Amino acid sequence: MGTRYHYNVARQELQRPRVGPSRWVTVETSLNRVQAFNPSSSQLSCG
């Protein structure tokens, strides 16, 4: 038991204009979704 997460990975670049504040811009996003699993701590056991 636990929680499964599905997400896409995005690559960002920092744009620094000569005038004004810097900002992060997404330039690429993964085509395939990746996943992560966070097991429930109450369900873990050794032995």
pLDDT on residue 46: 64
**Cα R_g (the chain), whole angstroms:** 19
Give the separation between CA 44 and CA 47, rounded to whole angstroms: 10
Q: Is the full-model pTM beyond 0.85?
A: no
User: What pLDDT, on a 0 to 100 scale, did the predictor assign at position 39?
Assistant: 83
In the prediction, which pLDDT does 34 show?
92
pLDDT at 40: 78
Q: Which residue has the higher pLDDT, 2 or 9?
A: 9
Q: Taking Cα atoms as reference points, which of 13, 14, 10 lies closest to residue 28?
A: 10
Centre a 10 Å sphere on the Cβ of residue 14 and count the other Cβ atoms it contains.
8
For the chain, the domains span 2-38
**Per-residue pLDDT tens for 6-47?**
999 999 999 999 999 999 999 999 989 999 998 877 655 665
